[in-house]
């Protein structure tokens, strides 16, 4: 089987991720902060959580590692950020590239808190113009929220420029890095990012169910849930200390351990090497696709920097059918459909038929890309023959 649905979740995981989770689950997985087995109330679990928090802080260029909150994933992180920041009547600017993890909480807030949403459209290759964002700023604007990389067409958003813009206008900048962390460098300080949502199970190679949110210490961010933190227990008020304030309930310590192992893997290989490898595969794929009749590719041109994800269609065949044939005839696992990005598909005009998405991880190979290209060529050829006979 060839697995090229890594934008959904990376698979396989590095061997060390499996090993460390297994080892930890058997030997150390006590309840953090409530382990009660040592007189200190501190166990390898707390130390491990502390270490992975630090690894994440290193990844996104902050030394303030108490400002990293563990969540159940990017969706959870985005919900904390959006619902913790936006108040009655606020205006928010976002883009057509966004995933439903941004769009749906915003629509909920539109109903509940009467927020106003401006959605910025993209150009032909999927790029968002910071100037267009600037023009949309009003007196009520409080937040700009953008993805770092489109989960469908791979377009990258210029975080630094938008971050500068946010600073100039005293706006808060929230970035969804679910598709980019681990492949592209992130630096919250340099890029002017106030809130950064991360997914653990994609290009950070951890298991599902773990994610993180970075919170600028100067922000006033409301909590989404309250509860036990294992600290300050005499008080019935939610503690204010970071990161406890946002981490009520028992943390997903297995997820954290797996994420830590994933981050170790990235450091060991090197982010640049990972990116180069994946982008080589993208280039090979895009060049090959150009030679297949009837294939249409969306997104940035071949020579442009992009995330390692390619969406395509075969004219005359629905994405669902193409995805089904690739899986059943050739054992190639892609993702077909709308990829939780309704506005993007509407803007591309592909909301009726969907697209087939191919997304790589470090574990994909040139040989696999070659096979994908051969398989697509065969399907395109057969479709052409079928159409001629009709």
Partner 1 sequence: MEEKQKYNLIIFNSTHQALAAEDLLLAANCKFNLVPILPEISADCGLAIRFQIEQTEILNLLKQAKIEMAGYYKVVKSGINKNITQLEI
Catalytic positions, written as ranges: 340
Residue 63 CB, nearest approach to partner 1 (Å): 9
Among 22, 131, 231, 365, binds partner 1 (CB under 8 A): 231
Among 243, 300, 308, 323, binds partner 1 (CB under 8 A): 243
CB 286 within 8 A of CB 310: yes
Burial class (CB in 10 A: 0-12, 13-18, 19+), 284: middle
Among 1, 88, 139, 234, binds partner 1 (CB under 8 A): 234
- Apex CA 167: angle with CA 162 and CA 173, to 5°? 55
Q: Is 228 in the site for partner 1 (CB under 8 A)?
A: no
Stretch that binds partner 1, among 196-204, 236-244, 261-269, 376-384 (CB under 8 A): 236-244
Nearer to partner 1, 1 or 234 (CB): 234
CA distance 147 to 387: 40
Residues 4-43 that bind partner 1 (CB under 8 A): 32-34, 36, 39-42
CB 341 within 8 A of CB 99: yes
Stretch that binds partner 1, among 129-137, 232-240, 299-307, 346-354 (CB under 8 A): 232-240
Q: Which of 136, 142, 137, 135 is nearest to 89 (CA)?
A: 142
Burial class (CB in 10 A: 0-12, 13-18, 19+), 93: buried
Residue 240 CB, nearest approach to partner 1 (Å): 9
- Size of interface with partner 1, in residues (CB under 8 A): 27
Nearer to partner 1, 131 or 250 (CB): 250
Q: Is 73 in the site for partner 1 (CB under 8 A)?
A: no
Residue 233 CB, nearest approach to partner 1 (Å): 5
What is the C-alpha radius of gyration for the chain, rounded to an integer number of angstroms?
22
Stretch that binds partner 1, among 2-10, 235-243, 309-317, 353-361 (CB under 8 A): 235-243
Nearer to partner 1, 53 or 353 (CB): 53
Q: Is 246 in the site for partner 1 (CB under 8 A)?
A: no
Residue 324 CB, nearest approach to partner 1 (Å): 48
Stretch that binds partner 1, among 118-126, 159-167, 218-226, 231-239 (CB under 8 A): 231-239
Q: Is 47 in the site for partner 1 (CB under 8 A)?
A: yes
Among 13, 53, 201, 277, binds partner 1 (CB under 8 A): 53
Q: Backbone phi, then psi, for 3, in 5-degree steps? A: -100, 110
Stretch that binds partner 1, among 99-107, 229-237, 311-319, 353-361 (CB under 8 A): 229-237
C-alpha dist (Å) from residue 341 to 152, 156, 344, 345, 389: 8, 15, 6, 6, 36
CA distance 329 to 332: 8
Residue 217 CB, nearest approach to partner 1 (Å): 8
Classify the C-alpha dihedral 292-298-299-300 as positive or negative: positive
Q: Is 227 in the site for partner 1 (CB under 8 A)?
A: no
Among 12, 37, 50, 287, binds partner 1 (CB under 8 A): 50
Which residues of this chain interact with partner 1, rule CB under 8 A?
A: 32-34, 36, 39-42, 46-47, 49-50, 53, 64-66, 229-234, 239, 241-244
């Amino acid at each position: 089987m060839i697995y090229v649905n890594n934008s959904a979740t990376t698979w396989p995981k590095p061997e060390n991720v499996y090993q460390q989770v297994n080892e930890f689950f058997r030997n150390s997985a006590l309840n953090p902060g409530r382990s009660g087995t040592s007189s200190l109330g501190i166990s390898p679990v707390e130390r491990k959580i502390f270490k992975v928090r630090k690894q994440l802080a290193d990844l996104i260029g902050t030394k303030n590692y108490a400002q990293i909150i563990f969540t159940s994933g990017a969706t959870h992180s985005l919900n904390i950020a959006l619902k913790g920041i936006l108040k009655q009547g606020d205006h928010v600017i976002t883009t057509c590239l966004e995933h439903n993890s941004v769009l749906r909480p915003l629509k909920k807030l539109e109903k509940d808190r009467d927020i106003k949403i401006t959605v910025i459209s993209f150009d032909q290759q999927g790029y968002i113009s910071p100037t267009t964002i600037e023009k949309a700023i009003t007196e009520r604007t409080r937040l700009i929220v953008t993805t770092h990389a489109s989960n469908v067409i791979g377009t990258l958003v210029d975080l630094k420029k938008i971050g500068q813009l946010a600073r100039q206008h005293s706006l808060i900048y929230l970035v969804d890095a679910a598709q980019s962390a681990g492949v592209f460098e992130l630096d919250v300080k340099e890029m002017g990012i106030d809130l950064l949502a991360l997914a653990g199970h994609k290009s950070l190679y951890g298991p599902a169910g773990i994610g993180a949110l970075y919170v600028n210490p100067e922000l006033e961010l409301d909590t989404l849930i309250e509860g036990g933190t294992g600290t300050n227990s005499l008080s019935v008020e939610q503690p204010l200390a970071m990161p406890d304030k946002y981490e009520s309930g028992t943390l997903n310590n297995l997820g954290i351990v797996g994420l830590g192992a994933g981050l170790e893997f990235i450091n060991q290989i090197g982010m640049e090497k990972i990116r180069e490898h994946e982008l080589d595969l993208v280039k090979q794929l895009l060049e090959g696709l150009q030679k297949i009749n009837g294939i249409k590719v969306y997104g940035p041109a071949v020579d442009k920097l992009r995330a390692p994800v390619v969406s395509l269609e075969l004219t005359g065949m629905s994405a669902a059918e193409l995805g089904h044939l690739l899986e059943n005839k050739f054992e190639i696992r892609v993702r077909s459909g709308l990829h939780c990005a309704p506005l993007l598909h509407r803007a591309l005009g592909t909301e009726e038929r969907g697209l087939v998405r191919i997304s790589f991880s470090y574990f994909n190979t040139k040989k696999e890309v070659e096979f994908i290209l051969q398989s697509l060529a065969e399907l395109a050829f057969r479709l052409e023959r079928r159409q001629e006979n009709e």
